[in-house]
Each structure stands twice: as C-alpha cells, then as structure tokens.
C-alpha cells in the first residue's frame, strides 16, 4: 500500500469559513473526509496533518521520512517565505506535490513566488479543494512509476 503524508499549513483549518469567495465553502473536515475517502478508493493510506506553526510542519515533514512514500503539502502563506520548510522537504528526499486551493498567480504579487516549488515534482494550483484529490491521483502515479 502506498502511504502519503498530506500536510495543511497555517489557516487552512479555517477552510469553509475563511474568505469563502476565494477558498470555497467546503469545511476543513469535509475536505479531509473526501481526501480519506478518495485515498481508500485508490488504495492509498493518507495521513493528514494540519498546523499553524512552522516548526511543527518541519517536524511532520521529517517524520514522513520514516514511513511515507510521498508528501502532498499546502504550506499556506509559508509557501512564500519558509526556507525551513523548503529545506525539510529537500532533506527527506520524498516526491512532493505542492497544492494551492486558489490561483495564486491571479492574486497579490507576493503569492506568485513559492520558495518550495523548485524542489517539488509539481504544483496543483487554482483547482479549489478538488486540487487535493488531483494530487492523490498524481502522487500515486509518481510513486508507482518510481517502483517500476
């Protein structure tokens, strides 16, 4: 079974409440339920973690090294400036997919730059929370290819 760590960064626990015009109305719990359900349908074990604290996210990334085949991460605003998250992702040497619910390229200038993107396999951006489900499918493909 393929095992994935899915990490939500700061403020993503407020999905469904926060700026619904940008991030949609699905609640955080609903989104996680859909992720788990899709994971089960695809034969993936998905462990979901959320934190508003940079260091805890670094710890979760390091922890994934012990058990996960890949990491799906939406680092929230930390995307734009967290070198510690980037370094942790690079250190664990697992395939990483970066997800953003909103189209960060169509918003404020500071959101266009990701310090994480140079070390990820790819990004899924602007597809709403459906982007997480796309990421599951993409990651399964990436991990299966790497085992062939």
Shortest separation between residue 46's beta carbon and ligand DQA, angstroms: 18
Question: For this structure, is 23 an active site residue?
Answer: yes
Catalytic status, residue 130: no
Nearer CB in complex with ligand DQA: 11/84: 11
Interacting residues toward ligand DQA by CB under 6 A: 11, 74, 76-77, 79, 100-102, 104, 111
Q: What's the min distance (Å) between Cβ of 66 and ligand DQA?
A: 26
Q: Helices in 42-129 by DSSP H: which ranges?
A: 54-64, 83-92
Q: Which of 8, 23, 105, 141 is catalytic?
A: 23
- How far apart are the C-alpha atoms of 114 and 28, rounded to whole Å? 23
Minimum CB distance to ligand DQA smaller for 5 or for 123 = 123
Nearest to 142 by CA among 104, 97, 87: 97
Q: Indicate the length of the chain as a whole number.
A: 148
Q: Quote the CA–CA distance of 36 and 129 in Å, as a whole number.
A: 13
Nearest to 125 by CA among 42, 2, 22: 22
CB of residue 92 vs ligand DQA: minimum separation in angstroms? 20
Nearer to ligand DQA, 67 or 110 (CB): 110
Which of 22, 7, 4 has its CA nearest to residue 99? 7
Instruction: Cite the active site residues.
Output: 23, 100
């Amino acid at each position: 079974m393929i095992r994935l760590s899915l990490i939500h960064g700061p403020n993503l626990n407020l999905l469904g409440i926060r700026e619904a015009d940008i991030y949609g109305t699905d609640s955080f719990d609903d989104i996680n339920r859909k992720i788990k359900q899709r994971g089960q349908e695809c034969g993936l074990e998905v462990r979901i973690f959320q934190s508003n604290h940079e260091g805890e996210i670094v710890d979760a990334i390091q922890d994934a090294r012990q058990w996960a085949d890949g990491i799906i991460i939406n680092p929230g605003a930390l995307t734009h400036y967290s070198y510690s998250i980037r370094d942790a992702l690079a250190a664990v040497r697992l395939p990483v997919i970066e997800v953003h619910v909103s189209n960060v390229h169509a918003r404020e200038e500071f959101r266009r730059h990701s310090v994480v993107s140079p070390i990820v396999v790819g990004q899924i951006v602007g597809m709403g929370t459906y982007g997480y489900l796309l990421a599951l499918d993409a990651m399964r493909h990436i991990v299966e290819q790497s085992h062939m």
